[in-house]
Structure 1
Amino acid sequence: MNYDLIVIGSGPGGYVAAIRAAQLGLKTAIVEKESLGGICLNWGCIPTKALLKSAQVFEYINHANDYGIKVNGAEADFEAVVKRSRGVADGMSKGIQFLMKKNKIDVLMGFGKIKKAGKVEVKAADGSIKEYEAKHTILATGGRSRELPHIKQDGKKVIGYREAMTLPKMPKSMIVMGSGAIGVEFAYFYATMGTKVTIVEFMDNIVPVEDEDVSKQLNRSFKKIGIDIMTKSSVEKIDSSGDLCKVTVKTEAGEKVLEAEIVLSAVGYSTNLEGIGLEEVGVKTDKGRVLVDEFYKTNIAGVYAIGDIVAGQALAHVASAEGIICVENIAGHHPQPLNYGNIPGCTYCSPEIASVGMTEKKAKEAGYEIKVGKFPFSASGKASASGAKDGFVKLIFDAKYGELLGAHMIGNNVTEMIAELVVARKLETTGMEIIKSVHPHPTMSEAIMEAAADAYGEVIHL
């Protein structure tokens, strides 16, 4: 019952922290109230990618003629698509179970709560409570779909991402509130499967955290597949009493009432801080986040927090990196603090979006004199051969020193390409070094070299 470390929450922050701790010789346990792998593996990153792959396959089949192949009578079996997604998630969760056994990490099933003097209480599903001792405790309790005060989710017609993954049948129509990663991924999935989709976004552009050029390109690509987009708009109220939801949307031109079978709320997330002992122990929080230092220590000795519940990007790979840094520091190593300015963001709709660093607007606001290079996939041989010419690579350099300030991509498979630029920024690579690094032909990744060359007036294929 005594541990060096107990981790509360087994998402990509928690389970990675537990494994690294075990590797470093700490006697470790992990607490999980539902399924190992947390939201990411069970209800987030992984199962959504399975759904999106099914949509992509269906899209390929529907456009097989473009590739000289005739296919007749293709139809989507929505239940089978959902079943495959759940199967992928279950397989991944079993993989985490294996990793826990392999690393001799005890799994404590139940709801975890920190107590004073290095104690953790775990309440099992049957109501029984056990107490454990730990020199160190990491809180990695993650987040959940955020509910707007005036838009209550009923789980049937007004839903969050979790229900969107397991609807019993494909809806004929859907309104998506919010156009961040979750919103646009589900919009693409359902539109491709045959649902009439409308996106309602409060900000000026969809995917508002991305570079403006990326937002405009996604807008064009989505309109091509029949998605309606309403920006500078907000859902004011929903009447779900009838067969269809009547959705009142406030726009610049006045209020409109739209109808849809399903309304998906994708307006961000809320942190899971309730009931985990923060108030009792005296852990400081601010605006729904636990306050921590650069190594994730809270104000209470022996208590740490990582992932969605602390400041920083709410991304699986960020939580994993934080978990490793936190544990290595606990074990007496000297890890480098995480550079939150060099975190890649990826969105897996089609075309995909990937970015790192500053947008053009942010770079100018920061006072940089910049060089901007852009290479469209319409000029890429590989993109043309693949039938995926939408999108571009855009690179932003500091004109004085050649430092890569930001990279923004939209196109086929760009989420697999962004890591090159994350590493380039980590190594403080200059624009000329990217240009002079030979990229293989024909590939989508050549566009990175070409975009850098465009910034310096040396582009060949434009």
Structure 2
Amino acid sequence: MAPQTDAQGRFRLSEQNFDLVVLGGGSGGYAAALRAVQLGLTVALVEKDKLGGTCLHRGCIPTKALLHAAEVADNSRESAKFGVRSTFEGIDVPAVTKYRESIVASKFKGLQGLVKARGITVVEGEGRLVAANAVQVGDQRLVGKNVVLATGSYSRSLPGLEIGGRVITSEQALELDFVPQKVAVLGGGVIGVEFASVWKSFGAEVTIIEALPHLVPNEEEVISKHLERAFRKRGIDYKLGVRFQGVTQHDDGVVVTLENGETVEAELLLVAVGRGPVTQNLGYEEAGVTIDRGFVITDERLQTSVPGVYAVGDIVPGLQLAHRGFQQGIFVAEEIAGLNPIVVEDVNVPKVTYCEPEVASVGYTEARAAEKFGADKVSSYEYNLAGNGKSHILETSGIIKVVRVEDGPVVGVHMIGARVGELIGEAQLAVNWEAYPEDIAPLIHAHPTQNEALGEAFLKLAGKPLHAL
């Protein structure tokens, strides 16, 4: 659209009006836009890069493609034990990249088609909140009855630790055209353990450095300990409870120094210490939106301090998960449309870490449940996957831990083992519907499936165990 001028030749902005203007086309933003048009609202969706955001292009989807390639590599190496003859000859990185990019391209094309078919006005460019009801993109002013802020997140670093050269983030890790021989991973959370898992399967030596006492420290402690044992068995090294002090780069690699005096030598250092909100220089504070440490503060209905301005996704304090963003986007669209949607607390959002073995959870850990309901009011049961036929076939080990309130509902489910991410659907229904184990125990779980393990845990808590003492 060409710039417009008034009678005196002065530049003026073109202006368009919508029911809803969404700033950011990632998971939360496009979900809000799609649901809003379903509800009869006119929508403008502003995106400076590509629709789908970090999750589709630099996060969830491409990393899970890498993890699947890693699983195939492991299966190839281990095929003889199943009576299948094969030869593992290494990783063809260009072919892996082609596979990964083809999946992203296909999903991107589908999303573009969906947004177009729904009649959403997509505005390309960097948007800025210039008033409580207006977003400016270049010479365009988009005025909305409501505005949704959904500008996503970026890979954090540590103070004094500059990204560059052999010090990389997950975005650069995805684009590597080689398999490093030796990698140090700073951070034992979700991103760190997933990349560690991929690189180990691809043949690299890996050392994880985590300041807290356990890997995936936000999970149930027994799950973290199982993951640590599994990684040790796979040959993934880790250093827990130690802090990073500095890194020196040289021609052949890096030397990472820890506060306890230890050093770790590697070809690359992956910095995986979490993600920060993208909120600076976008006009939020100038428009009156309250910001705390970079995050947008909202009420439980996701409205900011400015009436009519909402925020969703990674810029809102809490879990930084694409599916949380989807849910929040849908929630806000329905809130604006007057449907009074149900609030889903962060504790009841399912989480999956796609390393080998997988980790999945929803609800309270036993420790948090004890704090909330009282230690004498909480009980739990751990079902070992060694007793599950399908898990035995898959040669995976792990556990399923279910936490309940005594004579009350299931309040937490925590799992580790191959493919347990696919079990989280039933678990999150049990937790969110506040189901009692006695309600679930009579339901039939197909045999032989890993899903039976959940059924066995519910049977035990209901007082009628089958394949457990």
Q: TM-score, normalised by structure 2?
A: 0.94
| Aligned pair partner of 2:189 in 160, 180, 187 | 180
Q: Following the alignment from structure 2 to structure 1, what is the Cα–Cα distance between the partners of residues 128 and 154?
A: 18
Superposed, 1:276-287 pairs within 5 Å as 276-287=282-293
Q: 1:396 aligns with which of 394, 403, 415?
A: 403
| Alignment of 1:195 onto 2:204 | yes
Spell out, residue by residue over 1:19-61, the C-alpha distance to the aligned partner (whole angstroms, 9 max, x if none).
0011111111111111110000110111111000000011101
Matched, 1:146 2:163: no
Q: Tell me whether 1:412 sits opposite 2:422 in the alignment.
A: no
CA distance in 2, matches of 1:109, 1:149: 33
**Residue type of the alignment partner of 1:264:** L
Q: Does 1:437 align with 2:446?
A: no
2:243 partner amino acid: S
Residue in 2 aligned with 1:310? 316
Give the letter aligned to residue 218 of structure 2. V
Give matches, 1:24-43, under 5 Å. Answer: 24-43=39-58
2:281 and 2:454 map into 1 onto residues whose CA distance is 47
Match of 2:145 among 111, 129, 135: 135
Corresponding position: 1:60 with 2:68: no
How far does the alpha carbon of each residue in 1:333-392 deviate from its partner, in whole angstroms, 9 at most, with x for none? 22122232311111111111110111122222331422211111111111112222x111
Does the 8 Å CA contact 2:47/2:124 hold for their aligned counterparts? yes
For 1:21, give the aligned amino acid.
A
The CA distance in 2 between the partners of 1:76 and 1:341, in whole Å, is: 39
- 3-state secondary structure, aligned to 1:138: strand
TM-aligned CA deviation for residue 457 of structure 1: 4.8
**Secondary structure, in 3 states, of the residue corresponding to 1:448?**
helix
Partner of 1:210: 219
Q: What is residue 427 of structure 1 aligned with on the other side?
A: 433
Deviation of residue 287 (structure 1)? 2.1
Match of 2:380 in 1: 372
Tell me if structure 2 keeps the 8 A contact 1:62–1:74. no
2:264 maps to 258
Query: What are the Cα deviations for residues 217-265 of structure 1, in whole angstroms up to 9, with x where unaligned?
Result: 1111111111001100122100013311011023xxx311111011001
Unaligned stretches of 5+ residues in structure 2? 1-15
Q: Distance in 1 between matches of 2:250 and 2:77?
A: 36
3-state SS, counterpart of residue 318 of structure 1: helix
Equivalent AA in structure 1 for residue 144 of structure 2? A
Preserved CA contact (<8 Å) 1:373 1:453: no
How far 1:214 sits from its partner (Å)? Answer: 0.5
Separation in structure 1 between the aligned mates of residue 256 and residue 413 of structure 2, nearest angstrom: 37
Aligned AA (1:335): P
Deviation at 1:278, TM superposition (A): 1.0
Within 5 Å, which residues of 2 pair with 1:4-43? 4-43=19-58
Amino acid at match of 1:16: A
Whether 2:40 is the aligned partner of 1:3: answer no
Aligned length: 451
Q: Which amino acid aligns with 2:251?
A: G
Mapped contact 2:44–2:123 kept (Cα < 8 A)? yes
The answer (yes or no) to whether the contact 2:411–2:434 under 8 Å persists in 1 is: no
Please say if residues 150 and 315 of structure 2, whose CA atoms lie closer than 8 Å, have aligned partners that are also in contact.
Answer: yes
Aligned equivalents of 2:318, 2:101: Cα separation in 1: 29
Q: Are residue 301 (structure 1) and residue 307 (structure 2) matched?
A: yes
User: What corresponds to 2:460 in structure 1?
Assistant: 454
Give, in angstroms, the shift of residue 151 of structure 1: 1.3
* Displacement after TM superposition at 1:66 (Å): 1.4
Q: Which whole-Å CA distance do the structure 1 matches of 2:132 and 2:306 have between them?
A: 10
Task: Determine if contact 2:77/2:87 at 8 Å carries over to the other structure.
Answer: no
- CA drift at 1:117: 5.3
Secondary structure in structure 2 of the residue aligned to 1:81: helix
Distance 1:373 1:434 in 2: 15
Check the 8 A contact 1:373/1:456 in 2, yes or no. Answer: no
RMSD: 1.3
Cα contact 1:374–1:392 (8 A) shared by 2: yes
Q: Which residue of 2 aligns with 1:340?
A: 346
Q: Percent identity?
A: 39
Measured in 2, the distance between the counterparts of 1:117 and 1:61 equals 56
What does residue 387 of structure 1 align with? Answer: 395
Q: Is the 8 A contact 1:356 1:406 kept in 2?
A: yes
Mapped contact 2:188–2:208 kept (Cα < 8 A): yes
TM-score, structure 1 normalization: 0.95
**8 Å Cα contact 2:76/2:88 also seen in 1:** no
**CA-CA distance at 1:73 after TM superposition:** 4.3
Alpha-carbon separation, structure 2, partners of 1:456 and 1:326: 38
Partner Cα distance (1:436, 1:117) in 2? 53
